[in-house]
Amino acid sequence: MNNKVQLLVVGDSLGGVLAAHTAHQLGLQVLLITQHAWPGGQLTSQAVPPDEHKLIEHGGCTRRYREFRDAMHAHYRAQPGFRDAGAMTEGCNPGDGWVSRLCVEPAVALTHVERLLAGVPQRRGRPTAVRRAGRRITAVDIDGERIEADVVIDATETGALLKLAGLPYRLGKEAQAEFGEPLAPPEADPLDQQPVTWVLALHRQAAPGPLMPKPAAYDFWRSHLVPHYGFGQFSECMPGSRIGEVARLPLFADGATLDWWRYRRVVAAHQWTPPRPEVSLVNWAQNDYALQPLLDGEMPEAEVGAAARELSLCLLHWLQTEAGHPELQPAPDVTGTPDGLAQAVYVRESRRLVGLATLTQNELVGPGAMTHAQSVGVAWYNLDIHPTVKSGMGLNAKGRPYVLPLGVFLSGDVDNLLPGCKNLSVTHLANASTRVHPTEWLVGEVAAHLAATLLREGLTPQALHDDPAAVAALQQRLRADGIPTAWDPALLARTTLS
Q: Quick one: CA torsion of 76, 77, 83, 89, rounded to 10 degrees? A: 70
How high is the mean pLDDT of the chain? 96
416 confidence band (pLDDT: 50, 70, 90): very high
Instruction: Name beta bridge partners: 405.
Output: 375
Q: pLDDT value at position 498? A: 63
- Whole-number Å distance between alpha carbons of 321 and 340: 18
- Whole-number Å distance between alpha carbons of 210 and 197: 24
Q: Which residue in 318, 476, 478, 285 sits closest to 385, CA to CA? A: 285
Burial (Cβ within 10 Å: 0-12, 13-18, ≥19) of residue 210 = exposed
Q: Given a cut of 50, is residue 184 above it in pLDDT?
A: yes
Q: Given a cut of 90, is residue 40 above it in pLDDT?
A: yes
- Whole-number Å distance between alpha carbons of 237 and 250: 8
The full set of domain ranges for the chain reads 4-88+107-188+350-492, 196-335
List, for residues 336-381, the tens digit of each pLDDT value: 999 999 999 999 999 999 999 999 999 998 777 788 999 999 999 9
List, for residues 81-102, the tens digit of each pLDDT value: 999 999 999 999 999 999 999 9
* 0.95 surpassed by pTM: yes
Chain centre distance of CA 49: 10
Q: pLDDT value at position 254? A: 83
DSSP secondary structure letter of residue 346: B
Q: Given a cut of 50, is residue 421 above it in pLDDT?
A: yes
Burial (Cβ within 10 Å: 0-12, 13-18, ≥19) of residue 498 = exposed
Q: Given a cut of 70, is residue 382 above it in pLDDT?
A: yes
Q: Which residue in 281, 284, 18, 304 sits closest to 158, CA to CA? A: 304
Share of residues in the chain with pLDDT > 90 (%) = 93
297 confidence band (pLDDT: 50, 70, 90): very high
Q: pLDDT value at position 2? A: 61
CATH 3.50.50.60 assigned to domain 4-88+107-188+350-492? The reply is: yes
- Alpha-helical regions (H) of 41-105: 63-77
Instruction: Name beta bridge partners: 148.
Output: 4, 139
- Whole-number Å distance between alpha carbons of 197 and 286: 9
Q: pLDDT value at position 1? A: 47
List, for residues 422-470, the tens digit of each pLDDT value: 999 999 999 999 999 999 999 999 999 999 999 999 999 999 999 999 9
Mean pLDDT across 38-49: 98
List, for residues 201-253, the tens digit of each pLDDT value: 999 999 999 999 999 999 999 999 999 899 999 999 998 877 778 999 999 99
DSSP secondary structure letter of residue 173: B
